[in-house]
Amino acid sequence: MNLSRHPTTYPTRYQEIAARLEQELSHYRCGDWLPAEQQLATRFGVNRHTLRRAVDQLVERGWVQRRQGVGILVLMRPFDYPLNARARFSQNLLDQGSHPTSERLLSVLRPASGPVADALGVAEGRDIIHLRTLRRVNGVALCLIDHYFSDIAWWPSLREFTSGSLHDWLEARLDIRLIRHQTRISARRAQAKESRMLEIPNQAPLLCVRTLNHREGAHSVAEYSVSLTRADMIEFTMEH
Amino acid sequence: MNLSRHPTTYPTRYQEIAARLEQELSHYRCGDWLPAEQQLATRFGVNRHTLRRAVDQLVERGWVQRRQGVGILVLMRPFDYPLNARARFSQNLLDQGSHPTSERLLSVLRPASGPVADALGVAEGRDIIHLRTLRRVNGVALCLIDHYFSDIAWWPSLREFTSGSLHDWLEARLDIRLIRHQTRISARRAQAKESRMLEIPNQAPLLCVRTLNHREGAHSVAEYSVSLTRADMIEFTMEH
DNA sequence: TAAAATTTGTGCGTATGTATT
DNA sequence: GAATACATACGCACAAATTTT
């Protein structure tokens, strides 16, 4: 078995096209759609498979994103550039749930799945409150948080939450102050759905922070939250 | 442009095959070759394109590697398996530098680079102590830490450190107790060198923890450390 | 509400080129 | 040189998702 490197080879057709498309990305803005695959294939005089392969490269590099039935979305923006140059936002690790600028994507009453039930300390299948919020900075999706609450008495109030700071809302409407009890931090690649919601390339690294929160004075878990944050944009900090 | 969620979809044929192949990887050892694409395609009753697409997934995940004219090389080690099944090790976020099982890879006196000098609060180019340690669990490389110390008076003692807990060593040999003052947590993909040292696929997600440590009572930074941990194996926890 | 059109996603069959054994 | 195996590319067809009519 020969482990030596392969000699350099001439670029294949799909690589040529990928390079060309990458150049031309500068003619687009974030949010623009590329011409349809068939159009591009015709223009380059190749089969659609070959064109798709070229686009695959751009997807891998994180420049564009596919949307079935819609088209190919251009992600690259001047905004992203400095980020990889270590110009990440810095965020206090303990601030989860108190972002002043998050919007609600989902709020439902639903049976607790296994992991959620475990975290909240309730029986699997019991109804719990599930909110999902998205935090944007300058219009860029940054952080997706799932909040799970065990006390469905909060539902009438929580269901009306639409945007702002969730923890401020709890304090203002229900006079409830939540205190962080446990934090778990991990990282992994974004899965397909997550990368769509956060508008990032598939497989991009995400920071995952899971927290257990109590009410002041109480010992049972009132909230379990799971946040997914673009790792290229955020760094968590903590002063001791 | 509609950013609403996509409905869940059923796995496609190639995804099914990818999942099946991933299961079966445990039947192989690192260095084994998979059966030829045509054989696998025949066995699954699909076209070779479809089979190739399934293998593409394994390549993306870093389990196998293609060699033109040779075959498909199995990279994965059996040990890696349970990890993706969410069986990550749990580690206290504040334990950096005190792993009882780390080994020294490097110990040198060298001029401080820009970022290190900034962190330690010394002039760029001034000599500092640089130690690099690797932590293994069951023989598997888990965590790579660069330690930078501003006080070169510690050098005669630190240069003799070879393995064990670095912070224990400092306390035993120099009667120095270090206290965490600031923690920064980020995540990114492994670069080529890092993936070699940690024996993981390139681009695999890493957790990066950077800390500033003081001596008890003192205010200046005595140690700056940067740890890189396999994100598929570790989850950090913190009780408040 | 429903159907049609558009666009990407998946899959098959085939042909040819390239690298290795 | 021959055999084997992966790499690239074309053409066609249909499925799935979305948007438009």
Encode pLDDT of A129-170 as tens digits: 999 998 887 667 889 999 999 999 999 999 999 888 999 999
Q: Which of B37, B56, B74 is the last residue of a domain?
A: B74
Residue A134 belongs to some domain of the structure: yes
Nearest to B182 among A68, A187, A239 (CB): A239
The whole-number average pLDDT for the span B35-47 is: 87
> Is the same domain home to A191 and A210?
yes
Please check whether residues B91 and B166 belong to one and the same domain: yes
Tell me what pLDDT residue A225 has: 96
Residue A80 has pLDDT above 50, yes or no: no
Count of domains in chain A?
Answer: 2
Residues A110 and A229 in one domain: yes
Is B96 found in the same domain as B31? no
Per-residue confidence band for A77, with pLDDT thresholds at 50, 70 and 90: low
> Cα separation of B63 and A156, whole Å?
48
Q: Which residue of B has its CA nearest to A1?
A: B70
Mean pLDDT of all residues belonging to chain B: 82
pLDDT at residue A139 in the model: 66
Angle at B129 between CA B125 and CA B132, to 5 degrees: 120
The chain B residue lying nearest A190, using CA atoms, is B205
Residues of chain A numbered 76-105 and touching chain B (CB < 8 Å) = 88, 90, 93
Whether the per-residue pLDDT at B79 is higher than 60: the answer is no
B233: contact with A, CB 8 A cutoff: no
Q: Is the pLDDT of residue B83 over 50?
A: no
Q: What is the dihedral of CA A44, A49, A53, A55, to 10 degrees?
A: 60
Contact (CB<8Å) B231/A197: no
* Residue A217 zone, left/alpha/beta (φ > 0; ψ -120 to 50; rest): left
Assess if residue A2 is contained within a domain.
no
Q: Strand D: which bases are under 7 Å from protein Cβ? A: 4-12, 16-19
> pLDDT-based confidence at B46, cuts 50/70/90?
confident
Q: Which of A121-125, A180-184, B32-36, B208-212 has the lowest mean pLDDT?
A: B32-36
**Does B101 share its domain with B201?**
yes
Q: Which residues of chain A have a CB within 8 Å of the CB of B179?
A: 240
Same domain for B132 and B160, yes or no, is yes
Q: CB of B46 under 7 A from strand C?
A: yes
In a domain, A152, yes or no: yes
- Residue B101's SS3 state is coil
Count of beta carbons in the 10 Å neighbourhood of residue A24: 10
Among all protein residues, pick the one whose CA is nearest to the C1' atom of C5. A69
- Domain membership of residue B1 (yes or no) is no
The whole-number pLDDT of residue A41 equals: 94
Contact of B220 with B75, CB cutoff 8 Å: no
The CA-based dihedral angle spanning residues A136, A137, A140, A141, taken in that order and rounded to the nearest 10 degrees: -30
Q: Which CATH number covers residue B25?
A: 1.10.10.10
What SS3 state is found at B193? helix
Which of A42, A74, A106 is the last residue in one of the domains?
Answer: A74
Does B143 share its domain with B231? yes
The pTM of this model reads 0.72
Tell me the mean pLDDT in the region B75-94.
Answer: 56
Identity of the residue in A1, A6, A235 whose CB atom sits nearest the CB atom of B184: A235
Q: Which amino acid is at B125?
A: G
**Would you call B182 and A93 a contact, using CB atoms and an 8 Å cutoff?**
no
Binary contact (B205, A196; C-beta < 8 A): no
Whether residue A12 lies within 8 A of chain B, CB to CB, comes out as: no
pLDDT digits (tens, 9 = 90+) for A85-106: 344 567 788 777 777 778 888 8
| Nucleotide minimizing C1' to CA distance for residue B2 | D18
CATH number assigned to the domain comprising residue B206: 3.40.1410.10
Q: Which domain covers residue A232, as residue numbers? A: 79-237
Model confidence over B109-131: pLDDT tens digits? Answer: 999 998 999 999 999 999 999 99
